[in-house]
Amino acid sequence: MFNRIRGVFSGHAEDALHISTGAVEWEIFVPVRDPAFFTRAGEETELFTWLHHYEDGMKLYGFFSVAERQLFLDLQKVEGIGPRQAFKILQGIAPRTLATMLDNGDLASLQKIPGIGPKTAQKMMLALKGKLIGLEGEPGTGATGSQGRFRDVVRALVEMGFDRKEVERVVANLGTDLQENPDVEKELFRKALLELSTGAGS
């Protein structure tokens, strides 16, 4: 029913963000893992949404990427995990980190995530190991090329105060030359920070 909402971050209450789109302010439950996000009041925000319609009402969930939303839905395929627990899991861990734990069979680390016990960790491993895709700019993430793959680099630089559009431009330009570097994200962050700080190439 609702696929994506773009508006101004106008506030928050507990786990819900308030996003204003014209005369309407939406309450959207978003798994925010970085408290620094809450300092961005007044900034434009884009969320990919999923509406949970249950017996007593409705709740609108939101995610910063299509891949994160898909992971939220994939988690609900695990026996015993519903929307509330899937949301809690994503509040405690980044999607790519979770995928790495599952692919590596790291049950010990999975059990340290809030809301996951030994039995749930085992069920997640059986249901999702090797099946989580689209978490690093693969098809279906809503982003392509360097911008999608290096989403974490973009986010880190924006959180340092740089303009998002300029960050995305610099990351896209630099990323194409660093595809084969084993420490690509670290190197890209260093080079992008240098260029943004000195104004080179602008």
Q: Which residues contact 158 (CB under 8 A, 6 or more apart)?
A: 164, 167
Highest mean pLDDT among 70-74, 169-173, 175-179: 70-74
**Average pLDDT value for the chain:** 82
Residue 161 clears pLDDT 90, i.e. is over it: no
pTM, to two decimals? 0.64
CA distance 92 to 141: 21
Residue found by looking up tokens 């085992």 in the block: 122
CATH topology of domain 67-128: DNA polymerase; domain 1 (1.10.150)
Q: Where are the domains of the chain?
A: 4-63, 67-128, 145-198
3-state secondary structure of 84: helix
Counting residues of the chain whose pLDDT is more than 90, the rounded percentage is 33
- CATH code that applies to domain 4-63: 2.40.50.140
